Amino acid sequence: MTATLIDGKAIAASWRARIGAAVADLAPQGLRPGLAVVLVGDDPASQIYVRSKMRQTVEAGMRSFDHALSASTTQDELLALVAKLNADPDVDGILVQLPLPPQIDAQAVIEAIDPAKDVDGFHPVNAGRLLTGTPGFVPCTPLGCLLLLHSIRPDLTGLDAVVIGRSAIVGKPMAQLLIRENCTVTVAHSRTRNLPEVCRRADVLVAAVGRPELVRGDWLKPGATVIDVGINRVPNPAAGEGRTRIVGDVAFAEAVDVAGAITPVPGGVGPMTIACLLRNTLEAACRRRGLPPERWSATTA
């Protein structure tokens, strides 16, 4: 048996098209959603990611507001910009790219963002809303994982799900989303005893621990659906000295012969993160104007 590949690029493109169509439908009402992206410093990976976000925002018909600040920016300066964006009626969503320089308390910045514009879903208010099952913004990566799962299994009711990783950005919100889908959820982590055995009982396995190829093929239940969130650079001697390649948290070559469906790395979860950022921005724009959710806000096609 060879697993079905869950094509994150194609699914993300479909969602971006749906979102773009919804933005176009809102244009006659004078509504054009706006996303403000704040980048502090010159981290190369962050710069590439931010450029991609901005490009896809514009392609979806939204306005993109770029704020590039120097690495020496103080916390007070960044908080002042956040306050300005909170008050700007043209800005529906605010994203402050992480990580931030060491002189800035990231949590203080996250908490300063208006929860109604927190399209990253990191504000404690939105985290609490996810926990209590009330409307709020869900972090983009776990939301993308859920949409990928629904592309394979629209109904997750009753399934055993294991999430490896307990971060506030992926692991914890992913677990809450799966609970909301009526799964029986186990959250595993670096101190979980007998992790392979825990994984083997999972109908759905989400690996978000940040360890290259930690999950081996014989850790999987035959036919399981595997979502690999990991993006890890490892040496690639075959390509030359000093070269690297990207691998996930799952040993793909082993897992593909056991799983029923699996996301590749790259090309799986990554593209969905930006698609869900656009989705959250559109939703923020509609909420701020009292417009009802549209079909694009569902979690299935």
Which domains does the chain possess?
A: 30-114 (3.40.50.10860), 140-271 (3.40.50.720)
Out of 92, 97, 114, 176, pick the active-site residue.
97
pTM summary value: 0.94
State residue 217's pLDDT score. 98
Q: What is the pLDDT of residues 143-164, one digit of tens each?
A: 999 999 999 999 999 999 999 9
**Known catalytic residue: 120?**
yes
Active site residue 53: yes
Q: What percent of the chain has pLDDT over 70?
A: 97
Select which of 92, 114, 118, 120 is catalytic.
120
Distance CA 245, CA 212 (A): 11
176 is catalytic: no
- The predicted structure's pLDDT at residue 292: 80
**Separation between Cα atoms, residue 150 and residue 80, nearest integer Å:** 40
For the cut 80, the answer to whether the pLDDT of residue 112 exceeds it is yes
* Whether the bond into 173 is cis, omega within 30 of 0: no
What would you report as the CA-atom Rg of the chain, rounded to the nearest whole angstrom?
19
In the predicted model, what is the mean pLDDT of the chain? 94
- Stretch 19-26: mean pLDDT: 94
Give the number of other Cβ atoms within 10 Å of residue 299's Cβ: 14
Residue corresponding to tokens 């290259």 = 212
pLDDT tens across 240-295, in order? 888 999 999 999 999 999 999 999 999 999 999 999 999 999 999 999 988 886 65
pLDDT for res 172: 97
Kindly report, residue by residue over 205-239, the tens digit of the pLDDT.
Answer: 999 999 999 999 999 999 999 999 999 999 988 87
Reported as a pLDDT band with limits 50, 70 and 90, residue 140 is: very high
Segment among 34-48, 167-181, 258-272 with least mean pLDDT = 34-48
Q: What is the mean pLDDT of residues 98-118?
A: 97
Contact 117, 284 (CB under 8 A): yes
Give the model's pLDDT for residue 199.
Answer: 98
